[in-house]
Chains A and B, each alone.
Chain A
Amino acid sequence: MLFRRFMATAATTAKTHTSDIVIIGGGPAGLTLASAIKNSPILKNLKIKLVEGGNLIEPLEKFNESPPANFMNRVVSLTPATISYLKEIKAWDHFKEERTETYDNIYAYDGITNARIQFDCPEIATMCENFNIQSGLFQRIKELNKDNVENPLEILDKTKVIEIKSDEKNKWPVLQLSTGDSIKTRLLVGCDGYNSPARKFAGIESRGWAYNRWGIVATLKYKDDAFRFPTGWQRFLTSGPLAQLPLPDNWCSLVWSTTPELADILMKLPEEKFVAMVNAGAKLAPSEMEYLYKLAAKNDETLMEEISWRLNLFNSKLKEEEYENYPLEIESIVPNSRGRFPLKLSHADTYVEERVALVGDAAHTTHPLAGQGLNMGQGDVKSLVKVLETSTERGLDIGSKFALEGYFSERYPANHVLLGIVDKIHKIYSTDSSLLVMARSLGLDAINNTPFLKDFMVSQISNK
């Protein structure tokens, strides 16, 4: 009896809403898409909801009002193209620019031969915390909502999508939410990451492979004993690239891609020894690293001493002008900032199906070595918004695959090429076969000394 009464009230309070677009996922891709649509004079009157499973609004407000003293460990590289889009949708003004670092130089060097390539281009990339991006976009959405009282963007956070079904009559997706409500929508956009429920609902296959590598991230601080221009450093060890990317005030963000075994060892090390291993990884030879990993596995007491002795020896052999070819030494780490995530390549067979579009990681994931992951998602958003605008002006049903086709045909080839290049770079550098090492080092030196090739690569990296 009681149960039945409970059911009865549940049934009367649960509502079915109708929407033009539902975005799943409140990450950078989802929030960029939401603000770009509401920023568009053509699209701003659409009814849009953004559904996010986690707690989003509260932490974003907190970040905006009183940002944490230390940098967070989830940091991404933004290309100039991404930044100019964020400026175009007037979100960049809400970013905390003092927490971002724009740099001009990238040094990439071989972990075996130390053959190097240097890219020098004004404002080649900007490092920015994920949370800073989300917070800036969220503030922009709030601002847009103030000017659009009739059709504000609704963010439903702490709300999980339990099930997605098709409406019996017109096949529109109906999302059953954890709050008990459901939303029927003309178009469902999955900004919901690698395991995208939206992609699964649409029955779109995603293909690719795991790299059998983990990316270890951490926030580190350089020793303040010499001057370096803000530089992105990347050393290609055979286990994977070790990247140190600049943040303001001599801070840096680490992305160390490595094998699962080595990742285990590095994650378990006490923080002080982990810092020493990062310093070793930036300079020492593969044979030395191998020895150090063995000591690290045992958490050996002599590890620190071993590393500092070897680094001193290495430094003593450097000529004065060679000093600047290597990053400064790391002095400290933000406590508990170490984290790791698995690396994989994946690409969805299509980004659009009847009533569904996929954006960002839901459509493609890549190795972080080129810092392109988030930027590809931003490119997707820009393209999708343009397609939605054109389709709306032409009076098309924006949920139909026919209206969305242009988005897929524009983005798929571009993303595919980038995924492929990054994949090849990973493969070329994950070998120690001497012939290939020689070839890649020669190639790198050759490119480094061929300005027009380098210019082309810079334009590709920065999407300028």
Chain B
Amino acid sequence: MFRKVAIKTNPLLLSKRFLHTSPKTYNAVNHTAISPSEMEHFNKLAATWWDPHGPQRILHKMNLIRMDFINDTIKSQLKLNEGIKNDEEKVFIPGWNYKNLLPSEIAGQIEKEQKAAIAAKYDALELKCLDVGCGGGLLSESLARLPVVSSVKGIDLSAEVLRVADEHKTLDPMVEAKLNYELKALEEVPKDDLYDIVTMMEMLEHVDYPAEVLKEGLAHVKPGGHLFLSTINRDFISWFTTIFMGEYVLKIVPIGTHTYSKYINDSEILEFVEDFKKEYEVVSSKGCIYLPACGWKFTSSSNVGNYFSAIRRKEKLSN
């Protein structure tokens, strides 16, 4: 069995996946579509999607770190002193090394004031979110529960998982009012619907034309807003952890969840965004790894294994 897998997914046999060049053949009407086999795979998962002890446990766990990445990025992008003219009222923003340079009491006080300023700015946000490929709604519900989120739209192509998502949201009055799901492809979302947050989590590695999907997603980001994505680098480590160990040895995700050739390197995302650098920039990339018994942890490199990336749409076009 392992041999078969190895041949099917041997990294050495696979060519590069160019994100920045559109593939030669694609269905122009529905280029965010996923193949029937992918669809069938997700339909099978629908019934147990919300069971944190079921086959999707690792996804439930991953949702925790997704939320951390989104929150951290948004907080780090807040402009604390924007619009404040009086220097006295400005929050002091120290150099990166201030904790080593300043006495601990002063550094502590600076940190405390900074945190309070961030919290105040953050609490005042009212964010509109679009969750692309929402599946059973793990991320959509989590986003909807945040007090700073005013509405969430989740879209997916599988009617079966959306039914599960719709049913599950009615269990919690807190999310029911803020959240709605629609069975549609990304390009069917009205062009002028803009969002503060667009998410594509564990999604790009399941579509046939990721560049088109990404482009479409970025078009729905408000100036100053973010697109958050997570996917998997196409390297040996990824193949080993996600497919070999994850699907076949430890069996923590269902067999067939991943297709190695569809993985996308972080560098390819950077290359892609570089083409649109007047309007977009990658503001954060973080690798992450699943450690059994510990859950998901951020790693020091976004070039190996799973990773998150945050693309920001600039407020104004730059050169």
Contacts and interface: CB of A to CB of B under 8 A. Distances in A.
A402 B52 contact: yes
A287 interface: no
Contacts of B67: 393-395
A396 interface: yes
Contacts of B289: none
A325 interface: no
Contacts of A41: 119
B141 interface: yes
A169 interface: yes
Interface in A376-429: 392-397, 400-402
Contacts of A434: none
Contacts of A400: 52
B171 A170 contact: yes
A45 interface: yes
B143 to A, nearest CB: 6
A18 interface: yes
Interface stretch (B21-29, B144-152, B244-252, B278-286): B144-152
A395 B60 contact: no
Interface string B95-124: 000000000000000000000000100000
A41 B144 CA distance: 19
Interface string B46-83: 00000010000000100110011001000000000000
Contacts of B119: 41
Contacts of A392: 145
Contact of B142 (A18, A186, A395, A401): A395
A395 B64 CA distance: 9
B172 interface: yes
Contacts of A401: 52
A394 B147 CA distance: 11
A11 to B, nearest CB: 23
- Determine which residue in A41, A392, A395, A401 has the highest number of CB atoms from chain B within 10 A of its CB, and name it: A395
Contact of A45 (B141, B143, B144, B147): B147
Contacts of B36: none
Contact of B144 (A170, A186, A395): A395
A392 B142 CA distance: 9
B292 interface: no
Interface residues of A, number: 15
A396 B171 contact: no
Contacts of B171: 169-170
B38 to A, nearest CB: 26
B190 interface: no
Nearest to A399: B172
Interface string B122-133: 000000000000
A401 B119 CA distance: 28
A396 B173 contact: no
Interface in B135-163: 141-147
Interface string A20-62: 0000000000000000000001000100000000000000000
B10 to A, nearest CB: 37
Given A41-B119, A401-B52, A402-B60, A396 B172 contact: no
A395 B52 contact: no
Contacts of A394: 63-64, 67-68, 71, 142
A402 B52 CA distance: 7
Contacts of B71: 393-394
B59 to A, nearest CB: 12
B60 to A, nearest CB: 6
A393 B141 CA distance: 13
A394 B67 CA distance: 5
Nearest to B60: A402
Interface string A158-195: 00000000000110000000000000001000000000
A356 to B, nearest CB: 16
A185 to B, nearest CB: 12
A18 B52 contact: no
A401 B51 CA distance: 11
B52 A396 contact: no
Contacts of A45: 147
Nearest to A18: B173
B146 A395 contact: yes
Contacts of B68: 394
B285 to A, nearest CB: 20
Contacts of B146: 395
Contacts of B141: 395, 397
- Determine which residue in A18, A45, A396 has the highest number of CB atoms from chain B within 10 A of its CB, and name it: A396
Contacts of A395: 67, 141-146
A397 B143 contact: no
B170 to A, nearest CB: 8
A45 B171 CA distance: 21
Nearest to A409: B293
Nearest to B66: A394
B91 to A, nearest CB: 17
A395 B52 CA distance: 15
- Give me the 5 closest cross-chain CB pairs, A-B, nearest first: A395-B142, A402-B52, A395-B145, A394-B67, A170-B171
27 contacts: A18-B173, A41-B119, A169-B171, A170-B170, A170-B171, A170-B172, A393-B67, A393-B71, A394-B67, A394-B68, A394-B71, A394-B142, A395-B141, A395-B142, A395-B143, A395-B144, A395-B145, A395-B146, A396-B64, A396-B145, A397-B141, A397-B145, A397-B172, A397-B174, A401-B52, A402-B52, A402-B60
Interface of A: 18, 41, 45, 169-170, 186, 392-397, 400-402
Given A45-B147, A395-B141, 14 more contacts: A169-B170, A169-B171, A170-B170, A392-B145, A393-B71, A394-B63, A394-B68, A395-B142, A396-B64, A396-B145, A397-B172, A397-B174, A402-B52, A402-B60
